[in-house]
Structure 1
Amino acid sequence: MTTSSGFIRPLDGLRIVEVSSFVASPLCGLTLAQLGAEVIRVDPVGGAADVHRWPLTDGRGEAPAGTSIYWTGLNKGKRSVTADLRSEEGRRLVQRLVADSGPGGGILVTNSGGRDWMSHARLSADRSDVITLELVGSSDGTPAVDYTVNAGLGFPALTGPDDHAGPVNHVLPAWDVICGVYAALAVTAAVRHRERTGQGSAIRLPLEDCALSVASTLGYLTEPQVNASSRTRSGNDVYGTYGTDFTTADGARFMIVALTTRHFRDLVDLTGTGDAVSALETALAADFTAESDRYTHRRVLSALFARWFETHTAEQAEQALAESSVLAQRYRTFEDVVSAGVLEANPLFAELDQPGIGRFLAAAAPATFGGHYLAVPPAEDLGASTGRI
């Protein structure tokens, strides 16, 4: 796949067959499509379980009501094929798509594993260098989704206000996203391996293991092993450094982060609290050039800084913060982001004419290659390429 300017995408020439639904597996396919691979998503006739997943168009615009904004977003740039996957004919279609797809093909991505007819062993009988990536839920292969994985990992115990007694779920399906992007990386690594050795790969990627791996790498699982305890909730405070939120005189809320000594010094200067902070440092025998002391005494520091925000409007705060090194951002809703013109101002976004939804600004892949953003065409209607393929 090439861009309109003739730029050849990194994965041009690869063909991926995707039998999937929900987030992680379709996101893997989308990522590969953005990088230039031809991705063919195969769904059962009528669509998989996610074909009508919320959010849906509400019918107030040009688009009719009921189109899944979610489904079209995750399936941009793919070719859509439907087949009766319970029939021998439909299963053979998938097997042929995987096997008969030239030197860049022979790749299957699925979260519908456990089926002999599209197992690595079965597909290897048709093509010895086949690459299969099977996403599963739990490490032991039992079903799991992002929200159940997260519940069993410990993050809901750290999320939310520090005086809250129960678990708080996250909104972003972070493990699905991480798993989907890692799956795309695993596929490209397997392609590299095949190019060097001629050998295929059977990749198994549990969603739970993606979450456990990240939690281990970031120390969440190491801490209770070596310290015999783990961290507790800290609300909107950033763990281990100085960062928290403040409210201005007109009710706007800002997130402020002072990671370095310079950031913290500028925050003290901006809020005019130098004398008070110095006195506090002496009284507490603290050293506010150290992240640990800034975090330990964050509440009393925040009480000093809060007065400045309470006596300034959002506009005044934004201007003062922009002139300092302090890391800051005003809290916004998704509607605020769109109405503020953020999308129009960022070349990551370009207009997309999506059938069933209409025209809107859609993001390309976030990395540029040679200065090129890698956007993809709109999602096809379900099954649109069945006859052609």
Structure 2
Amino acid sequence: MYNLLNDLSIIEVSSFVASPTAGLYCAQMGAEVIRVDHKAGGLDYDRYMLTREGRSLSWENLNRAKKSVALDLRSPEGRELCVELAARTGQMITNLPEQSFLAHDAVKAAQPKAAPDLTSVRIMGWHDGRQAMDFTVNAAAGYPLMTGPEEWDMQTAPPVNQVLPAWDFITGAYCAFALLAALRRRDASGEGSEVRVPLGDVAIGTLANSGTMAEMLYRGADRQRLGNAIWGAFGRDFRAKDGVRFMVAALTPKQWDGLVEAFGVAVPIGQLEARVGVKFVDGDRPRFEHRHALFDIFQNVASGHDYKALAARMAAHGCTFERYRTAFEAASDPELVTDNPLFGPSPANPSGFGYPATRSFANLPAQTPGDPAPAPYLGQHSEEVLAERLGLSSGAIGKLVDAGTVALSDKDRI
């Protein structure tokens, strides 16, 4: 963690992945992020996978370094407290519907004069109000029908979903950026903003920004499936003699020359160039268009060597490559995790399970990052936040707790 945003407080009312990610990234840069949930937990509080004690590992990791307030958000009293917290704080991240009790205009109307003009970021499904989630917008964007083996027919073969909810994480990161951009404007003008970010627009907009939309319209048809090959460049998975699979990529002349040297294939590459009338060092296009013949040359060499020997040769020639790991192998890998300064010591997680936790992805060489902070217990900071933010006395908070409007820490719930 860094303290770049330690003068910023944010109310987060969210669930699942995209919205908590936005708050997480702000918290890792030092912002005070106060997540407000229903007193029994939000829709993601028990999200799979659960520990034996019933704690969600997903929730635990998406809510690190945040504070937690638990209110009865199904009651008018609880909703009123939530609105007041957002109104007095002045910054809000949420994925509740735009016409919910936490609508921008409703929160702004509740603001005291001394509060900064409300700046809110709201994650939506589609721009027209329809619901969406990562896997449905991914289906709409067309990517699952571009994945799969090359021999699969575009029309009859099934789609292949990506396992990573990439649009959720991209949306969360974009929302953190959008919030800070809106706050910078407010610093200059005094005017807050309502920012709406539809998950579907992030997906279809990325399709456009990547050039893929223009490509499809230009060609007037869909791109063929390529298996594990890289579109428009040289790259694919190969299998070594000992069965280890690894990925290589050569997008620059230096990478290509290194790969040719590492595999010792200058002669067959030269023969192929003479036969087809191209120079593969000239760029991506000839390497991509003749990829199958090139793949055969490289795979023939890979089949005769164990991966360790190949890896040593590729490293010596500055190649871009990596072996395939299972997710469990990646989580246990010294190079990726144990010896990586991204990870810090395990904090006191609510689950009681100790494991490496991430610091901020950004590395500021001139500053020392703090150790990863734990996620809160649900309701752990209810009393603290209501007292500090709303000025409620301990007696008033006690009455709210007795009435079931406010819940305190669920540390001992299991």
TM category (shorter chain) comes to: over 0.9
CA distance in 2, matches of 1:339, 1:195: 44
**Contact (CA 8 Å) 1:348, 1:363: kept in 2 or not?**
yes
Counterpart of 1:122 in structure 2 is 106
Counterpart of 1:360 in structure 2 is 355
CA distance in 2, matches of 1:347, 1:116: 42
**Contact (CA 8 Å) 1:156, 1:169: kept in 2 or not?**
yes
Deviation (angstroms), 1:31: 0.7
Deviations 1:301-321 (A, max 9, x none): 111111211111121111111
Which of 308, 314, 322 is equivalent to 1:321? 314
Q: Which moved more, 1:259-268 or 1:69-78?
A: 259-268
**Contact (CA 8 Å) 1:349, 1:362: kept in 2 or not?**
yes
Counterpart of 2:402 in structure 1 is none
Deviation (angstroms), 1:374: 5.4
Deviation (angstroms), 1:332: 0.7
1:2-41 matches, within 5 Å, as: 9-41=3-35
CA distance in 2, matches of 1:172, 1:338: 15
Which of 210, 225, 232 is equivalent to 2:217? 225
Deviations 1:30-50 (A, max 9, x none): 011111111111111211111
Kindly indicate whether residue 275 of structure 2 is the aligned counterpart of residue 283 of structure 1: yes
Counterpart of 1:384 in structure 2 is 380
Deviation (angstroms), 1:340: 2.8
SS in 2 for 1:365: coil
Deviation (angstroms), 1:330: 0.7
Deviations 1:22-80 (A, max 9, x none): 000000010111111111111112111111111222x4xxxxx3211000000011111
- The letter of the residue matching 1:318 is A
Which of 250, 253, 273 is equivalent to 1:258? 250
Change (3 A) 1:374 1:230: farther
Deviations 1:325-365 (A, max 9, x none): 22110111122223331312011101122122322110111
Counterpart of 2:323 in structure 1 is 330
**Contact (CA 8 Å) 1:34, 1:375: kept in 2 or not?**
no
CA distance in 1, matches of 2:252, 2:320: 10
CA distance in 2, matches of 1:242, 1:274: 16
Counterpart of 1:152 in structure 2 is 140
**Contact (CA 8 Å) 1:220, 1:230: kept in 2 or not?**
no
Q: How many residues align?
A: 373
1:178-193 matches, within 5 Å, as: 178-193=170-185
CA distance in 2, matches of 1:31, 1:131: 17
**Contact (CA 8 Å) 1:34, 1:374: kept in 2 or not?**
no
Q: Which moved more, 1:65-74 or 1:18-27?
A: 65-74
SS in 2 for 1:255: strand
Counterpart of 1:132 in structure 2 is 120
CA distance in 1, matches of 2:196, 2:258: 49
SS in 2 for 1:240: coil
SS in 2 for 1:315: helix
- The letter of the residue matching 1:249 is K
Q: Which moved more, 1:331-340 or 1:341-350?
A: 331-340
Q: Which moved more, 1:367-376 or 1:357-366?
A: 367-376
CA distance in 2, matches of 1:336, 1:136: 35
CA distance in 1, matches of 2:210, 2:327: 28
CA distance in 1, matches of 2:120, 2:382: 22
TM-score when scaled to structure 1?
0.92
CA distance in 2, matches of 1:340, 1:14: 36
- The letter of the residue matching 2:375 is A
CA distance in 2, matches of 1:263, 1:282: 21
CA distance in 1, matches of 2:234, 2:71: 55
Give unmatched runs, 5+ long, in structure 1.
60-64
TM-score when scaled to structure 2?
0.87
SS in 1 for 2:74: coil
Kindly indicate whether residue 126 of structure 2 is the aligned counterpart of residue 110 of structure 1: no
- Which consecutive aligned stretches of 4+ in structure 1 deviate over 4 angstroms post-superposition? none
Deviations 1:77-107 (A, max 9, x none): 111111111211111111221122xxxx311
**Contact (CA 8 Å) 1:31, 1:184: kept in 2 or not?**
yes
Deviation (angstroms), 1:156: 0.4
Counterpart of 1:197 in structure 2 is 189
**Contact (CA 8 Å) 1:98, 1:107: kept in 2 or not?**
yes
Change (3 A) 1:51 1:116: closer
- The letter of the residue matching 1:313 is D
Kindly indicate whether residue 331 of structure 2 is the aligned counterpart of residue 347 of structure 1: no
Counterpart of 1:42 in structure 2 is 36
Deviations 1:177-227 (A, max 9, x none): 110000001111111111111111011110001111111010111112233
CA distance in 1, matches of 2:134, 2:356: 28
